[in-house]
């Protein structure tokens, strides 16, 4: 059983975890940047990258301490290599490369979307391949068939904006705070879904894809 140190810095959260190859999370820490980006109503790439750079080293040390292990005990270092905000991705990837070189262990470059696609197997170890996955994030919205590690078939995707972007832009227009997803969701649970007519993109098109640009424009 191998121990892997994982680093995620693709957007506005810094995350570090120690995970075993039998899918057990030994220790993890996550740092949010909501407070830094809230004044702008969205993620500012330069601010995100600087926050990652400030927080990553202490978080790595903290996760190792939480697990009671040394960096030398890790069998590999993994880090997000994309897609994502390039500044943040580079902070995590360069840090991971330096640690891997210092400890002479493999560096594993991770596709951040593949991490999303496989994460349900961490939450539910009994989950077997294949399964259907709805992948929703700030920059992507897809339905995938996951046949195995590295084996994915895209069944549907957004033809324009991602849902997360639409939520954040809508929240900014309405002035209801950041991050937009939770803010819009809270209001939606109390609102009247028929009070304002909104377009229903692709209804009747026969296509399984998503479209959110029209909804965003309607707001």
Q: Average model confidence (pLDDT) for the chain?
A: 94
CB atoms within 10 A of CB 17: 20
pLDDT tens figures, 10-27: 999 999 999 999 999 999
pLDDT value of residue 206: 87
Phi, psi of 187 (to 5 degrees): -65, -35
Residues 11, 57, single domain; the answer is yes
pLDDT value of residue 54: 98
Domain count, the chain: 3
Residue ranges making up the domain that contains 125: 116-157
CATH code at position 103: 3.30.420.40
Residues 45, 137, single domain; the answer is no
pLDDT value of residue 219: 84
Give the neighbor-by-neighbor strand order of the sheet with 107-111.
25-32, 13-20, 3-8, 76-82, 107-111
- Whole-number percent of the chain with pLDDT over 70: 100
pLDDT tens figures, 121-167: 988 989 999 999 999 987 889 999 999 999 999 999 999 999 988 88
Which residue is listed with tokens 């593949």? 114
Residues 93, 145, single domain; the answer is no
The structure's pTM equals: 0.89
Residues 102, 194, single domain; the answer is no
pLDDT tens figures, 49-72: 999 999 999 999 999 999 999 999
Residues 167, 212, single domain; the answer is yes
Query: What integer is the mean pLDDT of 178-201?
Result: 90
43: nearest Cα among 184, 113, 137 = 137
pLDDT value of residue 112: 93
Asked whether the beta carbons of 6 and 24 are under 8 A apart, the reply is no
Asked whether the beta carbons of 7 and 80 are under 8 A apart, the reply is yes
Residues 138, 106, single domain; the answer is no
């Amino acid at each position: 059983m191998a121990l892997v140190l994982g680093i995620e810095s693709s957007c506005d959260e810094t995350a570090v975890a120690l995970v075993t190859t039998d899918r057990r999370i030994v220790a993890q820490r996550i740092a949010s940047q909501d407070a830094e980006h809230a004044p702008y109503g969205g993620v500012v790439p330069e601010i995100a990258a600087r926050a990652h750079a400030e927080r990553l080293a202490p978080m790595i040390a903290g996760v190792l301490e939480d697990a009671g292990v040394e960096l030398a005990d890790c069998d590999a270092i993994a880090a997000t290599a994309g897609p994502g905000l390039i500044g943040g991705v580079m902070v995590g990837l360069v840090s991971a490369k330096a640690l891997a070189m210092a400890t002479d262990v493999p560096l594993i470059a991770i596709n951040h979307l593949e991490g999303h696609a496989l994460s349900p197997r961490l939450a539910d170890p009994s989950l077997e391949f294949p399964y259907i996955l709805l992948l929703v994030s700030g920059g992507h919205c897809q339905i995938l068939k996951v046949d195995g590690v590295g084996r994915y078939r895209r069944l549907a995707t957004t033809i324009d904006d991602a849902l997360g972007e639409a939520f954040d832009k809508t929240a900014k227009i309405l002035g209801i705070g950041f991050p937009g997803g939770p803010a819009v969701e809270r209001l939606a649970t109390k609102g009247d879904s028929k009070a304002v007519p909104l377009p229903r993109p692709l209804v009747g098109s026969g296509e399984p894809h998503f479209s959110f640009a029209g909804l965003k424009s309607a707001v």
